[in-house]
Amino acid sequence: MELLLLTLFLTLFSALSVSSTQTIVQGFPTLTPQTSLSVEKETDFLISPNRTFSSGFYKVGTNAFCFSIWFTNSLNKTVVWMANRDRPVNGKQSQLTLRKSGNLVLTDAGGSVMWATDTFSQGQVEVRLLDTGNLVLVTNSENVIWQSFDYPTDTLLPTQLLVRNTTLVSMRGRGAYLSGYYKFKFDDNNVLNLIYDGPMISSIYWPSTLRETVFYFGRTPYNSSRVAFFNERGRFRSSDNLKFNASNFGVGPKRRLMLDYDGILRLYSLDGATGLWEVTWQPGGVDVCKVQGLCGPYGFCRYNPLPTCSCPYGFYRIDLSDWSKGCSPRFNLTCNSTTTNQLDFVMIPNMDYYGYDLNTYGLGLSFESCRNACLIDCKCQGFVYSLDGKGECFPKRTLLNGFQMLDLSRVAHVKVPRDIVISHKGKVLNTTSDLNCSAAEVMVSSGGGSGISGGGEDTKRNGFMKLLISFVGSAAIIEMVCIGLGWWFVLRKHVHEELVNMGYIVLALGFKRFTYAELKRATLNFKQEIGKGGEENEYNRLVQFVRQKIKQDMLVEVIDPRLNHAYSDGKLETLVKVALMCVGEDCDTRPAMSKVVELLSGDDEKNIDDKEGDN
């Protein structure tokens, strides 16, 4: 009886919930003269005939709303257009009104006009939201006197035209709906471009104009009609000959072309069952970390594993919610003829700041000559030196467009007061403040203040102990996993692949956090020189990559730079060798936990060398 009552209650509750939801999403088909939509009424919104799109007040912040259009059935109401993205209205007493004159007006709590269509009609006008997502003002003779398709924000919908006078403008950041600094538009040469238009500078970053012209990509600047669009099947065509299709080309899913806040243009398709979006196209050859202006002045982008903005040591992030504002120094940099001996450089390996060179000092220039030239030049904020053997020196008047890649054979040097620089055995180290605010990253980020604390033997010992504890803990987990995977081998015969995967995890925990992009480069796109390749080979190549760095005496390149070199080189080498033993292909040859402790204690160094030599 109790079960029956519970079932009836749940059924009734579900029915009421559905009924309530249906009431909420009813919406209005049109807005007629001298009627309004109120920000305070959740049911005050327009809806398209097939219910694909809704239009009403969308919350963009605390007590801040924008009149918007969104996909009705997408998760979290994906917005495709905003009337007042840079001038949100109050959450009380704000309203959208169609005046008798034919003008659609958005007013704030005090009656101030925050946005309007500036239209006029002697006949009667009504507002409709079409099935295409286009909000229109239509006269009684069915003439459209205004449409939202002529004023896009960051999104293009199927059949919506992008022409010479329209521009897609990105959001400022994730969840920040203010206009950002990235634009997608036709330039004066009739070519569609992705443009960074920041507070200080403006530049085109796609298509590439460095080594290839638009002709290289099959584009043409000779058609001055300047029109682009894509259809419901996912086919994009432009007058400059830019062509692409969605990867799921065909009639079916709802689509949108969006210029994201990170400066990348992406075509999305909606999964009707989940309400989630899938990327079905984005420009080839555009690396997120190479999008100009992404991390602002002094900042640089790296994969961790997602694109993350960081600051050089001695700098702090200006705005935690806005990457583009970059980093600011924690010091006052005084530069004149009497202070140059008080200046030095923070070094960031595998790093470049693209553009804004003072000049190129030429090929074959020694590092010291390059360094000294920047040191005495007060206009030089830093320099980038190439390690490809050509001796290229790039002094920078502005440090923008920074990006760090594992395979980049350049080193960036940022000018700072000498007391900021951390030195160890004559080397200037890479010290960064990670801008990723996840809990794991906050713990390892650089602290406040402009000075450097710690150092000496205590710092070395502490750094090594942290590394040792981290590794031993990881090794213990690996040993337990090995036991479990042994049973898995008996049951499913997949132990080899899983153990190799866990070997990669050991490397990732103990050493530098390699990104997918870095692994792809380090392993030659996971390619195997002999054989068919396969998933297992990704990790084999990573292990070989680390072993090669040991032979080249370049261990520093695989160690997480946030350790600030606060460890003993000898103990580090021991630790790495033991780690490589623990990721051997044959599980039976991997040392037990007790043996790991013995090896790390330094009592069996000969055994380490012998085993490593066998590999």
Mean pLDDT of 244-260: 95
d(CA 296, CA 246): 32
Per-residue pLDDT at 15 exceeds 60: no
pLDDT band per the 50, 70, 90 thresholds, residue 608: low
Altogether, the residues listed in the chain come to a count of: 615
Residue 483 has a pLDDT of 54
Ordered by start, the domain boundaries in the chain are: 23-151, 156-286, 300-442, 456-614
- Mean pLDDT of all residues in the chain? 77
Burial-class residue 282 by CB neighbours within 10 Å (0-12, 13-18, 19+).
middle
Q: Which CATH number fits domain 300-442: 3.30.2130.10, 3.40.50.11540, 3.50.4.10, 3.40.50.720?
A: 3.50.4.10
Residue 388 DSSP SS3: coil
DSSP string, 119-159: ---SS-EEEEE-TTS-EEEEETT--EEEEGGGS-SSEE-TT
Per-residue pLDDT at 396 exceeds 60: yes
d(CA 325, CA 322): 6
Share of the chain above pLDDT 90, in %: 46
d(CA 292, CA 204): 8
Residue 327 has a pLDDT of 95
pLDDT band per the 50, 70, 90 thresholds, residue 581: confident
Express each pLDDT in 169-195 by its tens digit: 999 888 889 999 999 999 999 999 999
222 vs 440: which has the higher pLDDT: 222
Per-residue pLDDT at 369 exceeds 50: yes
pLDDT band per the 50, 70, 90 thresholds, residue 574: confident
Express each pLDDT in 91-134 by its tens digit: 999 999 999 999 999 999 989 999 999 999 988 999 999 999 99
Q: Would 23-151 and 300-442 be classified into the same CATH topology? A: no
Q: What is the fold, at CATH topology level, of the domain defined by 23-151? A: Agglutinin, subunit A (2.90.10)
3-state secondary structure 41-93: CCCCCEECCCCCEEEEEEEEECCEEEEEEEECCCCCCCEEEECCCCCCECCCC
The count of other CB atoms within 10 Å of the CB of residue 524 is 10
d(CA 458, CA 452): 14
Residue 40 has a pLDDT of 94
* Tokens (6 digits) for 407: 């395979």
pLDDT band per the 50, 70, 90 thresholds, residue 556: low
Q: Which CATH number fits domain 156-286: 2.90.10.10, 1.10.3860.10, 2.40.50.140, 3.50.50.60?
A: 2.90.10.10
The residue to which tokens 């799109």 are assigned = 53
What pTM value is reported for the model?
Answer: 0.63
CB 241 within 8 A of CB 220: yes
pLDDT band per the 50, 70, 90 thresholds, residue 144: very high
Per-residue pLDDT at 136 exceeds 80: yes
Per-residue pLDDT at 240 exceeds 80: yes
Share of the chain above pLDDT 70, in %: 68
Comparing 51-60, 322-331, 343-352, the range with the smallest average pLDDT is: 322-331
DSSP string, 426-456: TEE---EEE---SHHHHTTS--SSSS----H
Residue 500 has a pLDDT of 38
Residue 502 has a pLDDT of 36
Comparing 93-107, 199-213, 391-405, 594-608, the range with the smallest average pLDDT is: 594-608
Residue 470 has a pLDDT of 54
pLDDT band per the 50, 70, 90 thresholds, residue 564: low
